Amino acid sequence: MAVGKGVATVALLLVVSSILGLSGLSKSKLSKSSLITSDISRSSRFVSLQSSGRLGMRYGKHQCSRRRLVRRSVFGDGGDDEPQDPDESLPDLLKQLMKKAADGKLPGDTQITFMDADKFAHLQDLKRKRQKKEEAVEKEREGRTSEALERIKNFDYRPKEIRDYLDRFVIKQSDAKKVLSIAICDHYNHVRRILEDPASARRDYTKPNVLLLGPTGVGKTYLMRNIAEFIGVPFVKADATKFSETGIVGRDAEDLVRDLVDKANGDKQLAEIGIIYIDEVDKIANPPKNDVTTTSGSTFNTRGVQNNLLKLMEDTEVSLQNPMAPQSLKSLLEQGGKEDKAVRTKNILFIFSGAFNGLNEKLKKEHGQEDMISSMFPHFGSRYDDDDEEEERPKRRSYLDKATTRDFIEAGMEPEFIGRVPVRCALQALLAEDLLHIMTSSEGSVLRQLEEDFKGYGIDLKFTDEALQEVAERSEAEQTGARGIVTVLENTLREFKFELPSLPFKEFTVDNQTVVDPKWMLGKMIESVNQTEVRVNDLVSFAEQFGRQHDPVQIVFSPEATVYLANLCVEKDWQMRSYCTHIFKGLPETLKRIYLETGQDLFVITREMAENPQEEMTVWLTLLDRSFEAERVDLTII
């Protein structure tokens, strides 16, 4: 090992393992190691010994003591009390261990590794920085957790305040907003009292678990996400069909609680007051027979899944580790019977939702006469929202608001299960006018996202009123609620998103004709563009970007090169910037070298360079080499 000027620093790591049961070092290894050790010991500041297992020891300058755990000792020269003999920087016992290892007298395998002490110190420094970073992350997490708990301790929202907040994001569904606002206020006022006075938790309390009824896309999930975000509690959503009774084939229902802990950044106390939302609960309703076959072809016991969810709704404890997971089984064995942390579900609020299409059809037959009367006398016995004035609403009216507990039991829900969900509310299907209102008024409107998407390419996106009306009507025909808006807009704008970023349009107005026939409108826009001009502008943009990336080196294209590249890209339907990036990939290094040796910083890309870039770059470098000692060579015509 070469020793630089001054004193070189080296760390010697000796790892003694008694677990593998391998043979010791050979004598040849000892001889080589002894020479290296001798060289290093005379020039090293630090020597580090690390050992593990039952042979683990901690070495000082003149002493050693047996340790069962891994220990590390670093010692060096430079002090007045250091031994004069450089070899004494290694303890005698270390030398004995090395000799025994070479003779095969030590159990297991002995390895000697030499490490530069600076590198060793660097690794230690990285370890300390990592620990500090982890501590900072943990401190930040605790801060967020404390802030969230403090918000619940100060919970003083009124139902109308929560309703007003939801109005910003969800259109219509006034009954659902009212029901959820009341349930949330009731529950978190109770949680606040428990946090203030833990003794009050012993009192009987019936949680206002909620069942939201209605078709897909009417805002059930969106309502719950916004509520959880507003009050600041962890929130998880799951599909009821993903669970099995045992958790061996599907997920275990208790995994929901563990997911809630993850959402709470590992804070158990915060997770215990979170919200669990389970969709498609109607899919786990018991059919005439216990076993039901899902669309994937697998079977599961729906009654068992309902019972597992029922346990969670009650006051139960869930282990933070899934006992069925292989890693958890290993951890349990290693813990040796230690008590595992558990989460109580007593104050976790459960929200369920489902379409219950079969039940809706049954109720429609039973209450169909009421709609006939309502159509003849619109204001007689109406049970629609106060602001529902659309005459066509009865066409897609949901009858689930008439469902009773007996109806749910007959539909396959366990009596104990449905009894633990006392708050129920039906959401109505969204009509075209509702979808139009969502696009124009909701803070979460997909139109805002589309505008940002096009703005990323420097294009100002606008919609006419007629276009939005057409989108709303087509979205209603999808019969997927608000999700239909995304489907219609995606089908309408997909090709525009692909083509327009490469065209010189700074504004794009979507009108009714664009929604009706997007391909025709796009073709008309493309025909109006001079493609050669587009490619020329892109070439100028490429040169400007090249200059910014490789400053001070700058490039310009000669007129002949510009015409050649523009015509080529139009003919082949290539994008100018991507093509130039490909053919000129070696240009930055070439021009950088010329700049460093000649000082020339402006270069003209000729047609010859555009046609054969690799050959021309070789020519330029050859000319540079030939004239290196001569007068500066001008490689371009400017």
> Of residues 451 and 115, which shows the higher confidence score?
451
Q: What does the pLDDT look like over 489-528, one tens digit per residue?
A: 999 999 999 999 988 899 999 999 999 999 999 999 998 8
49-58, 331-340, 626-635, range with the lowest pLDDT? 49-58
Element (H, E) at 374: helix 357-376
Q: What does the pLDDT look like over 185-223, one tens digit per residue?
A: 999 999 999 988 888 777 778 899 999 998 888 889 999
At residue 164 the predicted structure's pLDDT band, cuts being 50, 70 and 90, is very high
pLDDT at 333 over 80: no
DSSP string, 301-316: EHHHHHHHHHHHHSS-
User: Closest by alpha carbon to 272, among 166, 145, 180, 147?
Assistant: 145
3-17, 248-262, 276-290, 514-528, range with the lowest pLDDT? 3-17
Overall pTM > 0.85: no
Q: What does the pLDDT look like over 381-426, one tens digit per residue?
A: 444 444 444 444 445 677 888 999 999 999 999 999 999 999 999 9
Using CB atoms within 10 Å of the CB of residue 122, give its burial: 0 to 12 exposed, 13 to 18 middle, 19+ buried.
Answer: exposed
8 A C-beta contact, residue 197 and residue 380: no
CATH architecture of 207-284+294-324+341-406: 3-Layer(aba) Sandwich (3.40)
DSSP string, 493-517: HHHHHHHGGGTT-SEEEE-HHHHH-
**How many CA atoms lie less than 13 Å away from 502 in the CB half-sphere?**
17
- 392: helix, strand or coil: coil
> Would you state the pLDDT for residue 622?
87
pLDDT at 582 over 90: yes
Which residue, chain included where needed, has tokens 């595992």? 340
Mean pLDDT of 104-130: 66
8 A C-beta contact, residue 12 and residue 112: yes
User: Domains of the chain: which residue ranges?
Assistant: 10-124, 207-284+294-324+341-406, 432-527, 531-626
CATH topology of domain 432-527: Helicase, Ruva Protein; domain 3 (1.10.8)
- Mean pLDDT of the chain, nearest integer: 76
CA 628 to chain centre: 55
Q: Give the span between the Cα atoms of 321 and 342, in whole angstroms.
A: 9
